[in-house]
Amino acid sequence: MRIDILTLFPDLIHSVIKESIIGRAIESGKVEINVINFREYSTNKHKKVDDYIFGGGAGMLISVQPIYDCLQAINKSVNTKVLLTSPRGVTFNQEKAENLAHEEHLIIICGHYEGIDERVSEYLVDEEISIGDYVLTGGELAALIIVDAVSRLVPDVLNKADSHINDSFSTKLLEYPQYTRPAEYMGMKVPDVLMSGNHKEIETYRLKESIRITYKRRPDLLSKYQLNKQESKLFKEIITEEQKTVEKE
């Protein structure tokens, strides 16, 4: 997969993508990331990229020209998808990350200041993506979140050991709690079942705790999830157990 990121702050992107799993994915050629400073495409003699807003209003807006020329200069195919980071976009989630991971070429545009001339979104972009209902100073952190979530789903980026199939959201339930050594630390103990070596029991425990944590923290996700027979039985147990805990308190 190839990802081109258009930004005024390339160092911000470089400093993150060189590290850890994404850094290794780039090194091994599974993901190619090009960071392009679109200021270089400004035709203004001072390389200015922003201007006052027509009709008035506070702040400066990035002009369409440098973005247009920068996009023109990028090698594209019919499958290239151009994304704009924007608080007005559709909210990014795991399903969106999974869809984007199937694309062969993404271009992500990072805005700054007051944002970007509307013609970029109107004529040059396939999709606007927001990472949540808050406003950032620039699109770089949003682009990095998209790149991170998408890259780890590209085949072979994660090794089998850190496989993502059990991750929260991939199964539409939140992930069950996990522990590592030591089995007891400062009086804090790991649940006995995990030390039992009984794989069937461990599997049931994990499924049950996955349902429990989703029920407690994200009932909205659970209400969309189709519980099968075994899961419904576990869910009934959870409700009884949770009621008992509330009664005790």
Burial 169-185 (b: 16+ CB within 10 A, else e): bbeebbbbeeeeeeeee
Helix, strand, or coil (residue 87): strand
Active site residue 167: yes
Residue 111 binds ligand SAH, judged by CB under 6 A: yes
Pick from 133, 134, 168: nearest CA to 149: 168
Residue 66 binds ligand SAH, judged by CB under 6 A: no
Question: Is 143 buried (19+), middle (13-18) or exposed (0-12) by CB count in 10 A?
Answer: buried
Active site residue 152: yes
Which of the following is catalytic: 39, 66, 152, 209?
152
User: What minimum distance in Å lies between the beta carbon of 219 and ligand SAH?
Assistant: 25
Interface positions, 137-156, toward ligand SAH (CB under 6 A) = 138-139, 142
User: What minimum distance in Å lies between the beta carbon of 28 and ligand SAH?
Assistant: 29
Which of the following is catalytic: 167, 175, 206, 218?
167
Burial 27-64 (b: 16+ CB within 10 A, else e): eeeebebebbbbbebbeeeeeebbeeeeeeeeebbbbb
Residue 8 binds ligand SAH, judged by CB under 6 A: no
Q: Which window, 5-13, 14-22, 95-103, 113-121, contacts ligand SAH (CB under 6 A)? A: 113-121
Q: What phi and psi, each to the nearest 5 degrees, are found at residue 237? A: -60, -45
Which of the following is catalytic: 32, 40, 114, 118?
114
Residue 136 binds ligand SAH, judged by CB under 6 A: yes
**Binding map of ligand SAH across residues 184-213, x = CB under 6 A, - = no contact:** ------------------------------
What are 85's strand-pairing partners?
129
Name the token pair of 93. Answer: 């989630």
Name the token pair of 35. Answer: 């960071």
- Catalytic residue numbers? 87, 114, 152, 167
- Name the site residues for ligand SAH (rule: CB under 6 A): 85-88, 110-112, 114-116, 130-132, 134-136, 138-139, 142
